[in-house]
Structure 1
Amino acid sequence: MAKTPAQRAAKHGTAATPSTVPVINNSTRRTPQKAQGNVNLFLIASSVASLFLFAYFHLLTLNQMKDLSGGLAMPQSFVFGFDMAHVEALRLAMDADALGQLNYVGKTAGTLFPLLFAITALTMIASNVAKRPLRWALWVLPLAFAAISLWANAAVDSMMAAQKLDPGAVTLASGLVTASWMLLIATLLAIGLALFLGRKKKVTPAAS
């Protein structure tokens, strides 16, 4: 007849009792250092990708589109907006294929850049700004930049593809493009502030 664990322990001592304490593998624990390291790797990769997409969209592709428009700049390139005369000249200079290429570039690189840049900025602010009210205030900038940039691209496409040019559509597209550039600059300043606060937070405990 099989003995119970208590009977075996009484006869052979506690050494005969099977151990019920689970073995913990400390090597699989996610330490704060590992978590921060993963965040830093993501930020490095996303920052490089954002810079590449910005250069590809604004510095390379939109500049190359001038070859299809008789040297006229694309609407997204104007930091301070554009006027009716420029859009009319641009529409006359660009054929259907050129307009289709502008539309394609806006829907690919013109969409990927603001989304990836906004995600990078949100993560960078979250990992460096401890105060919640300030963090939320800074988060507004990249979120607004992404939304306005996508809206600006759609407004430019609609303006360029319209059968008859509408002054209201030109004003809207121009204002959105200008707002997207201003929000891009404001987001970069927010990132700079976040990095400053994060560096200050790391230096202060070491000094004390």
Structure 2
Amino acid sequence: MAKTPAQRASKHGTTATPPSSPVVNTSTRRTPQKAQGNANLILIAGSVASLFLFAYFHLMTLNQMTALADGLAMPQSFVFGFDVAHVQALRAAMDADALGQLNYVGKTAGTLFALIFAVTALTLIAANVAKKPLRWALWALPLAFAAISLWANAAVDSMLGAETLNAGAVSLTSGLVTASWMLLLASLLAIGAALFLGRKKKSAPAEG
């Protein structure tokens, strides 16, 4: 007849009795430290990708596009906007293939940069800012940057590809491009503020 666990334990000790509950491997538990480490890895990857895409789109590709436009700069390169005369000269200098290339890099590298930068900024702000009203205020900047940047790229394509140039379209596109640059700068300042608040929050318990 089989012995009960209590009988086996009394005869052979506790080693003869298997544990009544499953053994938990504590090394696999999700701790706040592990969660923070995973978040840091995501932020590092997003930051590197954003920096690479910014350099690829603004510093390399758009500069290379000037070779297809008689040395004229692309609209997205103007931090403080552009005028009708520049757009007219650009339209005259660029053929269909050049316009197609600009459209392609705007929809790929330009879109990816705006989205990845915004997601990275949102994650970083969320990880460092505890107060919800302030967090939403800081979130508004990268969200607005992504939306305006995507709109600006689409407006550039529409402006350059239109049959007739419209001064209103030029003004709108110029304003969108300038706004995207200003929002990018504001988003970087928001990231800096979030990092400062996060560092201050971590150092507060140690000082106390």
TM-score (norm 1): 0.92
Q: Which residue type is aligned with residue 107 of structure 2?
A: K
Aligned mates of 1:158, 1:93 — CA distance in 2 = 16
- Cα shift at 1:20: 2.5
- Quote the RMSD (CA, aligned, Å): 1.7
The residue aligned with 2:37 is 37
Aligned mates of 1:167, 1:9 — CA distance in 2 = 89
- Cα shift at 1:49: 1.1
- What SS does structure 2 have at the residue aligned with 1:146? helix
Change (3 A) 1:20 1:167: same
The residue aligned with 2:51 is 51
The question of 1:159 aligning with 2:159 is answered yes
Number of residue pairs matched? 204
The residue aligned with 1:73 is 73
Q: Which residue type is aligned with residue 51 of structure 1?
A: L
- Cα shift at 1:66: 0.8
The residue aligned with 2:109 is 109
- Cα shift at 1:19: 4.0
- Cα shift at 1:84: 0.8
Q: Which residue type is aligned with residue 167 of structure 1?
A: A
Aligned mates of 1:10, 1:55 — CA distance in 2 = 70
TM-score (norm 2): 0.92
Task: Describe the superposition over 1:155-184 as per-residue Cα deviations: whole angstroms up to 9, x where unpaired.
Answer: 000111111111121111111111100100
Q: Which residue type is aligned with residue 40 of structure 1?
A: N
- Cα shift at 1:22: 2.3
The residue aligned with 1:139 is 139
Change (3 A) 1:84 1:27: same
For structure 1, which runs of at least 5 residues remain unmatched after alignment? none
Task: Describe the superposition over 1:10-49 as per-residue Cα deviations: whole angstroms up to 9, x where unpaired.
Answer: 8667768764322111011011111101111111111111
Aligned mates of 2:54, 2:185 — CA distance in 1 = 13
The residue aligned with 2:202 is 202
- What SS does structure 2 have at the residue aligned with 1:141? helix
Moved more, 11-20 or 194-203: 11-20
Q: Which residue type is aligned with residue 104 of structure 1?
A: Y
For structure 2, which runs of at least 5 residues remain unmatched after alignment? none
The residue aligned with 1:87 is 87
Identity, in percent, stands at: 76
Moved more, 17-26 or 72-81: 17-26
Change (3 A) 1:166 1:26: same
- What SS does structure 2 have at the residue aligned with 1:108? helix
